[in-house]
Amino acid sequence: MLSLAFCASFVLLASSALATSPIKPNRTVLFHSHNDYKQPRPVYDAFDHGFRSFESDLWWDKGAGKFYVAHTIITIDHSKTFQTQTLDRVMKILEGDYSSDYKKDAPNKFLNDPDNQPTSEPDWYKYYAEGFGGVRPIQLLLEIKSNDGETSWPHLMDQLQPLRERGWLTKWEGGKIHYGPVIVVGTGGTPADEMAPKTSRDYFFDCPAGSLNGTIQTSSGSSFHFNSTLCPMSSASYINVPDSNLGLLPPPRKAPAQFHREIVETHHHNSTTRFYGVVPFAPARIDDFNMLIQQGSDWINSDVMSDQAAYNGRS
């Protein structure tokens, strides 16, 4: 019987043989740092490599009044909180105390640019790809893992007060999106039915790509349609798309049409697309990424810092 190690090596060798070079599209490819807290230097490593979107998995500890950053409950390190691993680092970047790539006046430059006008029909791709005044925004994708989103989400929003006080958060107010240099997007256990009815909020939802023609049902019996004022980003698992694969080998011939359908539907709702679950250690991930870009997907969900430069060069 063949060993598991041999089988894994065979798959990787086959993937390497089949993998192609990154394509060079005539547009910006947006890069999201998935499980960013696993990097040696969370936020900073991704930022240094040109990523402008960072993801944190969060566990609420009511007694301590803290969110711990970890993938599972058994891997929680009590020294690693949302404050230390994510928020403080984003604040240092925005305040110009970390890197000349985001200068001290960048947030105000973003806010004061004459093209930065509130809109009821947001162009999220332009927002993410171009920003305003030459400044790219920073996105925080926050996933509550502790299965208590309805009660813990308000506490998480309270922790964003330093960003809120400076006027840096993108918000939905008065029937329009008011762009800011930071956008907060809840995913996973975020209570979408809690945020959808709000007429004023400074956080958004990672909506389900492939299901945007459906509705959100609230506990009170109301229903809301997915739309661009709620959904700057819409995500789906790569391996759950019909005719997909596990990301170990290049996409089968039937896959592009399936991904194209979900991407077109998402863009029809003026949202951007992200597909997560491409295996990070497989060389064939480049084939998967190329296919996604060719079909018009907006975000590449990556755990590999060098991937951004392979497509966009140093940003």
Q: Does the pLDDT at position 55 exceed 90?
A: yes
pLDDT the model gives residue 249: 78
Residues 250-277 have a mean pLDDT of 95
> Phi, psi (5° rounding) for residue 88?
-60, -35
198-248 tens-digit pLDDT = 999 999 999 999 999 999 988 788 899 999 999 999 999 999 998 887 767
Concatenate the DSSP letters of all residues of the chain into one string.
---HHHHHHHHHHHHHHH--PPP--SSPPEEEETTGGGSSSTTHHHHHTT--EEEEEEEEETTTTEEEE-SSGGG--TT-BHIIIIIHHHHHHHTTSS-TTS-TTHHHHHHH-TT---BSS--HHHHHHH-BTTB--EEEEEEE-SS-HHHHHHHHHHTTHHHHHTT-B-EEETTEEE--SEEEEEEET--HHHHTT-SEES-EEEEETT-TTSEEEPTTS-EEE--TTT-SEEEEEGGGSTT---SSSPPPTTHHHHHHHHHHHHHHTT-EEEEE---TT-TTHHHHHHHHHHTT--EEEES-TTHHHHHH---
Per-residue model confidence as pLDDT tens digits over 203-212: 999 999 999 9
The per-residue pLDDT for 8 is 40
Query: Which one, of 186, 225, 180, lies nearest residue 205 by Cα?
Result: 186
Reply yes or no on whether the pLDDT at 99 is more than 90.
no
Q: Specify the amino acid at residue 250.
A: P
Please tell me the predicted confidence (pLDDT) of residue 271.
98
Q: What average pLDDT does this structure show over 126-131?
A: 94
Overall average pLDDT of the 147-162 stretch: 95
pLDDT band at 19 (very low <50, low <70, confident <90, very high): low
Would you state the pLDDT for residue 3?
A: 46
Average pLDDT value for residue range 13-29: 71
Percentage with pLDDT > 90 across the chain: 78
Distance, in Å, from the CA atom of 180 to the CA atom of 199, rounded to the nearest integer, reads 18
Mean pLDDT, the chain, integer: 90
Q: Is residue 287 over pLDDT 70? A: yes
Q: How far is CA 147 from the centre of its chain?
A: 20
Mean pLDDT score, 137-165: 96
Mean pLDDT check: name the lowest of 6-10, 43-47, 191-195. Answer: 6-10
Residue 42 has pLDDT above 60, yes or no: yes
Name the pLDDT band for 194 (thresholds 50, 70, 90).
confident
What domains are there in the chain, each with its CATH number?
Answer: 30-312 (3.20.20)
Put residue 111 in one of left, alpha, beta given phi > 0 → left and psi -120 to 50 → alpha. alpha
Stronger pLDDT, 165 or 283, i.e. the higher one:
165
Residues of the chain with pLDDT > 70, as a percent, come to: 93
Of the candidates 280, 79, 107, the residue with the CA atom closest to the CA atom of residue 181: 107
Q: What is the pLDDT of residue 71?
A: 93
Sign of the alpha-carbon dihedral angle for 115, 117, 122, 128: positive
